[in-house]
A and B are shown apart, each in its own frame.
Chain A
Amino acid sequence: MTEELLNDESFVITSDDVLGKSVIDEQGDSIGIITQLHIDKTNKNILGISIDPGFLKPQVFVGVRLISLFGIDAVYISKTPQSRYIGLIVFDRTGVIIGKVIGSEYQDKALKTLEVRTGLFRKVSIGKDKIQRIKRNVILNVKKDEI
């Protein structure tokens, strides 16, 4: 690479410009902070990034093809990771708080069930058919006793 290209800030960024940046998905939600940049040793190209979503949540790896922009203050990705639902509050259709999402199961890339912690030692699996919508949190179309 020529020296001019290396000095062109509009073309080249370094790991310092990437690590520690916020990652925002296609829905405008925060995924976490970039902690690692993964590089293919053989082909010498970037494979993707590791993201720390926060306290007690598992790290997320996002492949470079899903990165839509390395921005000035944030990195935009074009997909929502499957772990995005972890930590969301689950309300039944009357507004009662059921619990928090601790896991999700997918089938053919579509959400199948959410695993919800309802008590200290209790959890329940909620099928997609019982979910009315997922936005900031999860709203079910059933009452707590119908789960």
Chain B
Amino acid sequence: MEKITSRRFDLADSHSTSDLKGKNVVSRGGEIVGKVKDVLFYDKDILGVILKKRFRKDVFIGIEMVASITQDAILLSIDPVTSLLGLPVFDKAGKKIGKVKGIIRQDERNNFKSIAVKPNIFRRTMEIDASDIKIISQHIILKVEI
């Protein structure tokens, strides 16, 4: 294709938004957190990407949290806090408390104040402070006994 630009670069090294749509978005820990639904711009800058997550709401990830954009995937420099949703929660005594149903955040950064855990459909949701969490991985393990 014809190129009109004052910058020197090879078009083959760049990515178009149509290339990126549908590509995997991989978190820092290696989890596929979703697929690229769209790329957002403001003025002339890329703001970030919108992830399409299966069975969950779309998530916007700011470009400052993207480690690299390649032909095959977008690699993030973070483990998005939204990945906590659905994780089983166990307390210090090995008792299953429930699953994460919600994340309470103070702002839009990648951290959280507390999590909402629902034991089952008959019981009320309980809020667990972030400071009571010991480990976050495939499960959330608390420092305390509930």
Measured CB to CB, the residues of A under 8 A from B are 24, 26-30, 69-76, 88-89, 91, 93-97, 133-139
Contact = CB atoms under 8 A, between A and B. Distances in A.
Contact of B29 (A69, A76, A93, A137): A137
A30 B135 CA distance: 13
Contact of B26 (A69, A70, A71, A91): A91
A7 B71 CA distance: 63
B30 A27 contact: no
A60 B20 CA distance: 41
Nearest to B90: A74
Contacts of A73: 90, 94-96
Contact of A29 (B28, B72, B74, B139): B139
B93 A136 contact: no
B115 interface: no
Give the most central of A30, A73, A133: most B CB within 10 Å.
A73
A95 B94 contact: no
Contacts, number: 88
Contacts of A133: 28-30
Interface residues of B, number: 28
A28 B139 CA distance: 5
| Top 4 A-B pairs, shortest CB-CB distance | A71-B94, A95-B73, A137-B30, A28-B137
B96 A138 contact: no
A73 B88 CA distance: 11
Given A27-B137, A29-B138, A136-B27, A72 B95 contact: yes
Contacts of A136: 27, 29-31, 137-138
Interface in B62-100: 68, 70-75, 79, 90, 93-96
